[in-house]
Structure 1
Amino acid sequence: MKIIDKYILKRYLVTFMFTLLILIPIAIAIDISEKIDNFLEHPNLGFSQIVEEYYVNFIIYYTNTFMPLALFIAVILFTSKLSNNTEIIAITNAKVSFTRFLFPYFVGATLVTLISLGMNHFVVPNSSKIRKKFEKKYIKNKRQQNALKYVSDFSLQLTDSTYIYIRSYNTETNSGYDFTSEIYDGIRLKSKLSSDNIRYNIIDSTFTLLNWRKRILIDKKDEIFSGNKIDTVFNFTPRDLDYKSALSQEMASNELLKFIRVSQKRGVKNLNAYWVELHKRTSLPFASYILTIIAVALAFRKKRGGTGVNLAIGVGVMFIYVFLMKISEVLGAVAGVNSFLYVWTPNVIFGCLAIYLYLNARK
């Protein structure tokens, strides 16, 4: 790596870190102004606990979120400065091609991409668990907390022939109502067990059914049994129901992929929201390369108006990218669509823009 490469790479990383250090305190200040009343409502909540359990994880989450924006702004800022100081003219006069000029930028983008991949797949999900647990305990109101602990209209395929359905289940009390278990032979129903209430016993991992009814279908006649109370076992636990209601952002990628595969075997209908989260963890870091090319191509030539014009154009481009990304996430979560295609669509569109700007800059 030549001296000019080290110089550009150093400016790339320093400006990137400087931009992040500007954005993160702004986000913290806004968050404190919104949540200060929630903190003061709990007299036993200490400053150190707020910092360690909430704001440390808040910084991790928003550092990862702001990385593409910080990267894009940083590249535009220092590349515009290179252009305004006629340093780029000196580099091009030394017969350095635009492709060769991009080399240190790509080294920097690779470092940012690797860090972002590691954070997206492992660090941020584990951090989000702690942050959301703190929010649930100290920030969310009772109405929001009640909405989180209830699972409604939950269905699950336990085996190739066994299906269960629960109208409502409380993950804190491990109890619910309107439970049904059906066993099929092909498409023919063999037996149906239903109860008004269901409760999970943590000690022996059994389920208690109250006001239960069981119907066994036989060729010539049906047998019907009923009772007030019965203890039985099923091939699931409340953890499976809790996963269903948990946010996918709180699962590490290996855990999320395992959950998706288990859910597919159990016949869960729409898992696209989970696929979107999994694909996004890879697509967003790789956008670093695309955004770097666009930013360099925009700021490579000296413009009338200087850095301000380049920055305004860059912010507009970034806004469009974020807008397309959010739309693709919503559309990708719809049942029956290819979530992978939708999640990567913004990168494909802006990749084409990057290629066009790259070819134009080479001229």
Structure 2
Amino acid sequence: MRILDKYILKKFLSSFALVLVLLLPIAIAIDVSEKIDRFLRNVDLTVGDIIKDYYVHFVVIFGNTFMPLALFIAVIFFTSKIAGNTEVIAIHSAKISFTRFLKPYFIGATIVTFIALGMNHFVVPKSNKTYNHFIKTYLKKKNYSQNVTTNVNLQLGPDEYIYLKSYNSNTNQGYKFSYEKFDGIKLKYKLMSENIRWVEKDTTFRLNTYKQRFLLEDRDSINVGIKLDTLLNFRPKDLINVDDLAKEMTSFELKKYIVQAENRGINNLNTYLVELYKRTSLPISTYILTFIAVCLAAKKRRGGMGINLAIGITLMFIYVFFLKIAEVLGAGAETNALVMVWLPNIFFGILAIYLYLRNAKN
């Protein structure tokens, strides 16, 4: 690695770290000002608990969220600075091509990308779980309806279906439960109960006031009882519609959940697929945003660094805007989640190629 590569790579990583370190305290200060009254209302909360169970994970989650923005601003900042000092002109005068000039940026982007991939797939989901639990426990108003899902229908397999009138995720109890097993289109077995409860210790479901109906060739057989512990092919998390559920699972857990849900006949899993694909597409955008930033800032402009930062930040917000639209559209049942998640990267990738070719010719 040349001295030039080491110089640019050092500037790349140090500027990125500096911008990230500057952004996070601002985010924390804003968050503290918004939530300080709710912290104080919970007398059992200590400062240590707030830092350990909330703000440590807040830094992990929002640091990961700010990473592309921090990288983009950092690259524009230090590249504009060396361009303003005519260092880029000196580099080109030494017969170093623009493509060769991009090498240390590529190395830096690769380092950040691998860090972001590890964070997105494994670290952030675990932080989300603790972070969301803290919010639900201490910061949200206790509302019974928030924890109750009504009219739950779930297909467990090709011929197995369950239905619940309502399910409470806090107590892990459901009401008006029924389970049906078919042979083709013919009903073979039905199990009903007034109440169903998940028993974590035994990993079984406990049915209270139940009725079993076996449909035989020549007759029906009916059994009734007060209590029945049984194994069923689903878990409590399959019964609740929680937007944060996908964000709280690591990628291996999320893939496993998607496969199980597909086997149970659940049709629209795009919300989970969007979350899974986004964990890879966002880190890969590091390369695209880096090359756009270098192409914008590598030339000395009238107006200096301010013009470059204004153009760059505008492009960054356009990217974030398209990303959010793509996520919403990708969650729809009739769309291809993979295509929608990668669409912003495709468009901005084309822009990066155009800017690169224009700079490479000069």
Whether the TM-score (by the shorter chain) exceeds 0.5 is: yes
Distance 1:296 1:207, change over 3 A: closer
The ranges of structure 1 where at least 4 consecutive aligned residues each deviate by more than 6 angstroms after the TM superposition are none
Match of 1:362 in 2: 360
Distance 1:227 1:140, change over 3 A: same
| 1:18 aligned onto 2:18 | yes
> Which 5+ residue runs of structure 1 have no aligned equivalent?
none
Deviation at residue 172 of structure 1 after TM alignment: 2.6
How many Å separate the matches in 2 of 1:27 and 1:207? Answer: 44
Residues 64 and 119 in structure 1, CA contact (< 8 A), matched pair in contact too: yes
Any residues of structure 2 matched to 1:261-280 within 5 Å, and which? 261-280=259-278
How many Å separate the matches in 1 of 2:201 and 2:293? Answer: 59
Deviation at residue 248 of structure 1 after TM alignment: 0.8
> Which 5+ residue runs of structure 2 have no aligned equivalent?
none
> What code does the residue aligned with 1:229 have?
I
CA offset digits 1:38-71 (Å, max 9, x no partner): 1000122111111111101100111100000000
How many Å separate the matches in 1 of 2:118 and 2:206? Answer: 43
How many Å separate the matches in 2 of 1:110 and 1:279? Answer: 19
Any residues of structure 2 matched to 1:155-166 within 5 Å, and which? 155-166=153-164
RMSD, matched Cα = 1.9
CA offset digits 1:208-252 (Å, max 9, x no partner): 43444444445666x373646241413235444367535211111
Classify the secondary structure of the residue corresponding to 2:354. helix
Distance 1:205 1:88, change over 3 A: closer
CA offset digits 1:150-192 (Å, max 9, x no partner): 3333333334322111221123322111211111111222233
Distance 1:4 1:202, change over 3 A: closer
Residues 212 and 230 in structure 1, CA contact (< 8 A), matched pair in contact too: yes
How many Å separate the matches in 1 of 2:221 and 2:348? Answer: 63
Residues 151 and 241 in structure 1, CA contact (< 8 A), matched pair in contact too: no
Residues 167 and 239 in structure 2, CA contact (< 8 A), matched pair in contact too: no
> What code does the residue aligned with 1:258 have?
K
Any residues of structure 2 matched to 1:50-65 within 5 Å, and which? 50-65=50-65
How many Å separate the matches in 2 of 1:205 and 1:21? Answer: 45
Match of 1:345 in 2: 343
Match of 1:171 in 2: 169
How many Å separate the matches in 2 of 1:206 and 1:64? Answer: 38
> What code does the residue aligned with 1:255 have?
E
| 1:66 aligned onto 2:63 | no
| 1:229 aligned onto 2:198 | no
Match of 2:99 in 1: 99
Deviation at residue 138 of structure 1 after TM alignment: 1.0
Match of 2:238 in 1: 241
Deviation at residue 207 of structure 1 after TM alignment: 3.5
Distance 1:200 1:62, change over 3 A: closer
Match of 2:195 in 1: 197
| 1:79 aligned onto 2:79 | yes
| 1:284 aligned onto 2:282 | yes
Instruction: Among all aligned residue pairs of Structure 1 and Structure 2, give the percentage whose two residues are the same amino acid.
Output: 53
Deviation at residue 140 of structure 1 after TM alignment: 1.0
Q: Which of 311, 326, 329 is the matching residue for 1:313?
A: 311
Distance 1:347 1:225, change over 3 A: same
How many Å separate the matches in 2 of 1:132 and 1:353? Answer: 37
Residues 152 and 239 in structure 2, CA contact (< 8 A), matched pair in contact too: no
CA offset digits 1:82-124 (Å, max 9, x no partner): 1111111111111111100000000000000000000000011
How many Å separate the matches in 2 of 1:4 and 1:167? Answer: 67
Classify the secondary structure of the residue corresponding to 1:156. strand
TM-score of the two chains, using structure 1 as the length reference: 0.93
> What code does the residue aligned with 2:186 have?
R
How many Å separate the matches in 2 of 1:148 and 1:241? Answer: 16
49-58 or 262-271, larger mean C-alpha shift: 262-271
Distance 1:204 1:58, change over 3 A: closer
Distance 1:116 1:243, change over 3 A: farther
How many Å separate the matches in 2 of 1:102 and 1:202? Answer: 55
How many Å separate the matches in 1 of 2:326 and 2:186? Answer: 40
Residues 212 and 224 in structure 2, CA contact (< 8 A), matched pair in contact too: no
Distance 1:203 1:326, change over 3 A: closer
CA offset digits 1:296-342 (Å, max 9, x no partner): 11111111111111100001100110001001111111113211111
Deviation at residue 10 of structure 1 after TM alignment: 0.6
Deviation at residue 274 of structure 1 after TM alignment: 0.5
Match of 2:257 in 1: 259
15-24 or 157-166, larger mean C-alpha shift: 157-166
TM-score of the two chains, using structure 2 as the length reference: 0.94
Residues 279 and 340 in structure 1, CA contact (< 8 A), matched pair in contact too: yes
How many Å separate the matches in 2 of 1:284 and 1:203? Answer: 39
Q: Which of 185, 203, 207 is the matching residue for 2:205?
A: 207
61-70 or 187-196, larger mean C-alpha shift: 187-196
Distance 1:170 1:3, change over 3 A: same
Residues 149 and 168 in structure 2, CA contact (< 8 A), matched pair in contact too: yes
Match of 1:141 in 2: 141
Classify the secondary structure of the residue corresponding to 1:92. helix
